[in-house]
Amino acid sequence: MIHIASAINSLKQGAQEDGTVAGEGLSAIETFTYFFAAPTILFIAISVIVYALTGDRKTREKKSSVITTIE
C-alpha cells in the first residue's frame, strides 16, 4: 500500500512543470471578498459613473423661441 501511495505521489510531482508549487489556499472570507464582493462593488461603481455621465438631465424650462418652435 505504501508503494502505491509513493508511486502516485511521484506521478503527481512529475506531471508539474518546473517552478510550479501550490501556494496556501484562500480562506472563506478571502474567497468571498475576491470573487463576490469586489466584482459587485466594481460593477456598481462603474454603473453609477456611466449613469452620471450619460443619464437624463433635467431640462430647464426655457422660453419658447421663434426659431425653435412653430406656432
Instruction: Note the pLDDT tens digit of each residue in 8-49.
Output: 666 665 566 677 777 899 999 999 999 999 999 999 999 999
Residues 6+ apart with CB under 8 A from 34: 26
Judge whether 26 and 34 are in contact, CB under 8 Å. yes
Nearest Cα to Cα of residue 41 among 54, 29, 32: 32
Ramachandran region, residue 19 (left: φ > 0; alpha: ψ -120 to 50; beta: rest): left
Of 54 and 69, which is predicted with more confidence? 54
The pLDDT value given to residue 27: 96
The pLDDT value given to residue 5: 67
